[in-house]
Amino acid sequence: MAVGPAFGSHNTMTGSSSALRLLIVEDDHLLGSGLEIGLQQEGCTSEWVRDAGAAAQALRDGTFDALVLDLGLPDRDGLSLLEEIRRDGLDIPVLIITARDALDDRVNGLDAGADDYLTKPFDLPELAARLRALARRSSGRSAGALRVGGLSLDTVTREALLDGSPVAISPKEFALLEMLAARSDHVVPRARLQNSLSEWGEGLESNTLEVHIHNLRRKLGRERILTVRGVGYKLVSEPSS
């Protein structure tokens, strides 16, 4: 993999409306830290973990636009993690990075549910371009398709419907609701929601997030967004009566 100069000022992602949020799963410290720094310079934000167990936990706790997955992990093979992700119905774009360059290895990776495959060594601009392409295709598949019970979110027009009726919500409220809907029936960490507000230039007063959640509950029904104390919030597909 090219490091140093290849990480320079090449910054084609930052022109997008929002930065890609990536999960990097790579046990090699030099490569993992290089990817984290380099992709940040490409306009991405990322979380870097070093084994499959930490990756599974990160996917449960957070939301990501794409997964960069090494296959040679210390606790289990990356392919088994990928197969588990797909069995659980998580439709996240996955790009495999690995030193395994045999045809059978590439076929096995794609058959296990990968969307793309890049062998080491590689150049960062190519990796970034492939991630942008995966994100574009994923956005095209999911546009306007976020539905959680009677709640429907159009991610193109940024409109919300509850049981077929329009709900007037602000752009910031929609952004929070979109994050919750993307992980419906799972807890979204408080820190992740707060980071989303900070990206809007929102002040970080201690109760800012609670104010937005309160407003969403008032419009959608208090039982639809649950508080998980000490962790975050969860949008449920079947609110309790």
The predicted pLDDT at position 140 comes to: 53
pLDDT tens digits for range 85-95: 888 878 889 99
Residue type, position 197, single letter: L
Which residues have C-beta within 8 Å of that of residue 141, sequence separation ≥ 6? 91
- Partnered with residue 53 across adjacent β-strands are none
pLDDT tens digits for range 37-83: 998 888 888 899 999 999 999 998 878 889 999 999 999 999 999 99
| Dihedral-angle region of residue 161 (phi above 0 means left; psi in -120 to 50 means alpha; beta otherwise) | beta
What distance in Å separates the CA atoms of residue 88 and residue 80, rounded to the nearest whole number?
Answer: 12
Task: Select the CATH number that applies to the domain covering 4-142 from these four: 3.40.50.2300, 1.10.1060.10, 3.30.300.350, 2.120.10.80.
Answer: 3.40.50.2300
pTM for the whole thing?
0.56
Q: Which residue, among 43, 46, 147, has the nearest Cα to 95 in the 3D structure?
A: 46
What is the bridge-based pairing of β-strands 146-148 and 116-119?
A: unpaired
- The CATH code of domain 146-235 reads 1.10.10.10
Beta strands in 50-187 (DSSP E): 66-70, 94-98, 116-119, 146-148, 151-154, 159-162, 165-167
- Which residues in the chain are classed under CATH 3.40.50.2300? 4-142
What distance in Å separates the CA atoms of residue 227 and residue 150, rounded to the nearest whole number?
Answer: 20
